[in-house]
Structure 1
Amino acid sequence: MASENSKSANQVDSTPKKRRPGFKIGPDNLPDGTYRRKVVKIKKELIRKAKIKKSYAKIKASESISLATTNTLTSSLKNLPSQELHPERQAMLNTPDEEITSTNKQEQFPQRRHRSKRPSYFEKEQAFAEKKKAEKEAQREEFKRRAKERAEKLEDRKRFRKAMAKARIPGKNGQRKLGRESVVLLEKIKKNFEGKKIT
């Protein structure tokens, strides 16, 4: 029985350990771009922090070993006469904590007031879309204006034809009505000479 347990233990040790793939931040299928770079940056930052913690733990372990030696040094230092504090430092230590914290907060974070604008990742696309929208709106307005002009011209032609048809109808004595016809012809002449300057 004991030999079977030792064999199974040896078999477990002989199988190679699976290599762990490390930790993941964010999805694997991100395309190269803003979000991918951000994920990579976060991962690097986490690795850096872990290394700092590890080195701190090593230093702390070595400090605990040398702590015994420092205890003897501190006891010898206590026997030495203490030095007097500088008057400004003494005044700072004597002031209440509330006054210090209120002034420190203002001095400590001056950059909080001047926050820069967050980068907009789609500014170019947004500007392009707005430009396209403005162009479409201008085209729509132009189309409406032309349609209105066309309708006005058609209406004018219709009115002119009607007026000329009425004027050409002979009167009671069979002659044309020159008064009506002259008004219509005068309007036609005015329209022809509107764009032209007479010198």
Structure 2
Amino acid sequence: MAPTRPPKKQTKGFSVGPANLPDGTHKRKVQKIKKDLIYKAKLKKQYAKLKAREQAAAAATAQKSVHDREDGADRTQEESTEPAPEPNLEPHPDRLKMLENGSPEPGPEPASTQHHDRRGRRSRPQPFKREAELGQRKREEAEARRKAREEAEKERARKAAERERIRKLMSKARSSGPNGQRKLGRESTVLLEKAKRLVGKT
């Protein structure tokens, strides 16, 4: 009776990260890591095979006799002493055409630079544009009101100063002179200014 072999164990593929990840960024990242690991493992296997092949070739050359190795070296020297073919000094036909026609016209820009320029020119979206415009309008209105208020205050101050000046002039004009009479000349100039101002207003 032949000895029974144990059944071959079914190897399950390795897993990276939890198995119940939902579709999305994390799952794609885990899949990428797994692919990278598989690729690196294959690369290591290929490197190991190449290294083993080179070591076998090196061992075979080391086992050759000294005479065989010298013959091989002589052969390579003979091959290297053979004259090399002269290089073709004729310029390429396309280069000849370019030289005859002159420098070519500058072509259109590559699509990538055009795309970059187009993106650079595009205005950035402003999420609160309407609110910013409203705030700017309110600031302008407040500035206009402040200026109008300042102008009105200046006008009031000017009128008050004018009234005070006229009052002082009238008090001086009404005060009696050295002989107890009113100073009609002074009073008349003040009254004339007052009349002119009233006529100018109307």
Normalising by the residue count of structure 2, what TM-score does the alignment of the two structures yield? Answer: 0.46
Which is greater in Rg?
2
Normalising by the residue count of structure 1, what TM-score does the alignment of the two structures yield? Answer: 0.47
